[in-house]
Structure 1
Amino acid sequence: MHQGGRGLRVLSIPAGHVYTAAIRPEDVEYLPDPDIDGNWWPHPALDAAWWEYLPAAELPDLVHLHFGFDHLSPGQIADLTGVLRRRGVPLVVTVHDLDNPHLSDQTEHHEKVRLLVEAAAARITLTDLAAARLPAGTRVILHPRVVADPPPGADSGAAVGVFLKSLRGNVVSDPSFYRILARKVHEELGLPLRIHVHEDSASTDLVRGLRADQAGGAVDLRVHPPMPDAALHAAVAECRTVLLAYLRGTHSGWLEMCRDLGVTVAVPDCGMYEGQADDPRGVEKYRTGDPLDAARALTLLHGRGPVPYAGDRTRQLRQIREAHREVYREVTGR
């Protein structure tokens, strides 16, 4: 399995995701994701039986599990970690989600995370706040940049925005939340709340409920198809501050994107979002689901003015990759 001279072969689940592609050390090979109807999910390597018949010569040096195990039961997680142990393949787990943003009942998810972190040869998470809820020795490695090339005019936006996309289960969908929020923001700042939402069946009720508020000037409703990254980054950069309208979750790549663009973010107190901040002035916490407190946070942030990203994202990315290489070295002895 460990042939001299070749680099480490890591089975990253997934490998081709924008996050996992970013953190990969340059001298490490990530085995390609399977193509299952144009997607990698569910990864066959999450099935314990897949490992039972894998020839020894094809075993990776380690498995690095990020996400994609939602469909597994706790028993299947136990089977997976057991077969990895028997076959001598170390497991590295990055805990992105202490709480699964797509689930209202976290009981089973918490049990699966517990089984994974107990079986892991190394544990990683993204913030000190999350690490404090995980076993001792969990390493904190920050989220990498999301926007490598900010559009012209980043750090100079003036709008107050919220980007709802396709209204996933962890996003507030009640129109009254946004009506109250928008009216309070308009009252305090004299600006409409710019609401971006995808044009699909999930948003129909919300869009219908908000159209009336456009006439009063409190809501600037923008219904559109999903935007390519460049257009999305430009739209976010038009804002001085944005709201994360989440009901649950742990960490946010969206927050990182906003901070890459110098945009400040009002974050709910349900997760570890505040702990991701590069600069404490770049975020303001509000009570989850409370539109008046969310308006307070947005008003405070808007008055604070632009807060450019604090630090060197290029150097940070290099450090993130080096930190992952060190973890891989520790668990494999190579």
Structure 2
Amino acid sequence: MHQAGRGLQVLSIPAGHVYTAAVRPEDVTYLPDPDIDGHWWPHPALGAGWWEQLPEEELPDLVHLHFGFDHLSPAQTVAFTQALRRRGVPLVVTVHDLDNPHLVDQQEHHEKVRLLVDAAAAHLTLTGKAARRLPAGTEVIPHPRVVTDPPPGTGRGEAVGVFLKSLRSNVIADPVFYRILGRAVYRALGRPLRIHLHENSAAANIIHALGKDQAAGHLELWVHSPMADPTLHAAVAACRTVLLPYQRGSHSGWLEMCRDLGVTVAVPDCGMYEGQADDPRGVEKCRTGDPLDAARALITLYERGPVPYAGDRVEQLRQIRAAHRGLYRKVVGR
């Protein structure tokens, strides 16, 4: 139960993530993330036993769950929600991933999302398209800005890029996809497809397989260590348009970063990515896993030219924080 005169104490799972830190209202305190070998996951508060041992005076006003529950089974998810109910702590859930980008079989993930939403005092998501797949009453609060200090030259990039990073399981890793894509882009625009890859064993297959295309000028393979944010933002800003190379998922902070930098994005039709767009001209949808359709989308965007972010990101962030503040107060007041 909320204590009068005390600012709201929220257990956000997680608290220190760039997204959750951004949306936190200034007059709300997030309880600190645990340090588990340098990480916050798996968060111990997702275990029913953690709540049974927590003293009454240490109870938060509410729990806001964003992500990090992948390790739970459906039964453990129920146990978590029941433990919160027994302690009188309301649950708020933001559904970032209707489909978990790191899983091929979505059945268990869908079940856990349903259980969490059913148990929640309030549930949110990031786009209207996602809300239409969730129960009535789902509130939509958009993703906030990612880039607060754009690098010089933002909005004047000329490259056509794709950032594969460390080739996580939701990223298309088939070299044939990029060979076909790169050749189609080069034929239409006379520009190589710039492929960014982290320097690790996962990238070795693509680097070897695409060597001839790089020699022919169809592709540029940029292999590097993970970039600090300023370096990453400069690399993205050097592009006029980029491909989001996902084969499943729902929403994307990467897309938001690109749009902060005025870069247009070819997005797959597997998620709600198109619905995140600040300006419909800033994205072009393509069939997931189809290299020729991805090339068509990139070519269309490139020829369309630069599309600056439409709207006021500072005002949007103020509204996002105000929406979270209002929601928290409403939930605690029940």
Give the equivalent residue in structure 2 for 1:149. 149
Structure 1 stretches of 4+ moved >2 Å: 1-4
Letter in 2 for 1:15: A
Letter in 1 for 2:189: L
Looking at structure 1, the residues matched to 53 and 226 of structure 2 have their Cα atoms a distance apart, in angstroms, of: 41
Looking at structure 2, the residues matched to 154 and 84 of structure 1 have their Cα atoms a distance apart, in angstroms, of: 46
Give the equivalent residue in structure 1 for 2:175. 175
Give the equivalent residue in structure 1 for 2:126. 126
RMSD: 0.7
Gaps of 5+ in 2: none
> How many residues are paired up?
334
**C-alpha offsets along residues 285-322 of structure 1, whole Å, 9 cap, x if unaligned?**
00000000000000000000000000000110010000
Give the equivalent residue in structure 2 for 1:245. 245
**C-alpha offsets along residues 79-99 of structure 1, whole Å, 9 cap, x if unaligned?**
000111111100000000000
Looking at structure 1, the residues matched to 171 and 63 of structure 2 have their Cα atoms a distance apart, in angstroms, of: 32
Give the equivalent residue in structure 2 for 1:54. 54
Pairing 1:91–2:91 present: yes
Looking at structure 1, the residues matched to 166 and 108 of structure 2 have their Cα atoms a distance apart, in angstroms, of: 25
> Aligned-pair distance for 1:54?
0.8
Gaps of 5+ in 1: none
Looking at structure 2, the residues matched to 244 and 207 of structure 1 have their Cα atoms a distance apart, in angstroms, of: 19
**C-alpha offsets along residues 85-122 of structure 1, whole Å, 9 cap, x if unaligned?**
11110000000000000000000000000000000000
- Within 5 Å, which residues of 2 pair with 1:71-110? 71-110=71-110
Percent pairwise identity: 77
Pairing 1:228–2:228 present: yes
**C-alpha offsets along residues 219-264 of structure 1, whole Å, 9 cap, x if unaligned?**
0110000011000000000000000010000000000000000000
Give the equivalent residue in structure 1 for 2:159. 159
Letter in 2 for 1:286: C
Give the equivalent residue in structure 2 for 1:33. 33
Give the equivalent residue in structure 2 for 1:207. 207
Letter in 2 for 1:51: W
Letter in 2 for 1:239: C
> Aligned-pair distance for 1:3?
2.5
2:309 counterpart SS class: coil
Pairing 1:11–2:11 present: yes
Looking at structure 2, the residues matched to 204 and 90 of structure 1 have their Cα atoms a distance apart, in angstroms, of: 48
Indicate conservation of the 8 Å contact 2:185/2:298, yes or no. Answer: yes
> Aligned-pair distance for 1:145?
0.2
2:89 counterpart SS class: coil
Looking at structure 2, the residues matched to 36 and 177 of structure 1 have their Cα atoms a distance apart, in angstroms, of: 38
**C-alpha offsets along residues 175-211 of structure 1, whole Å, 9 cap, x if unaligned?**
0000000000000000000000000111111111111
TM-score of the aligned structures, taking structure 1 as reference length: 0.99
> Aligned-pair distance for 1:4?
2.2
Pairing 1:193–2:193 present: yes
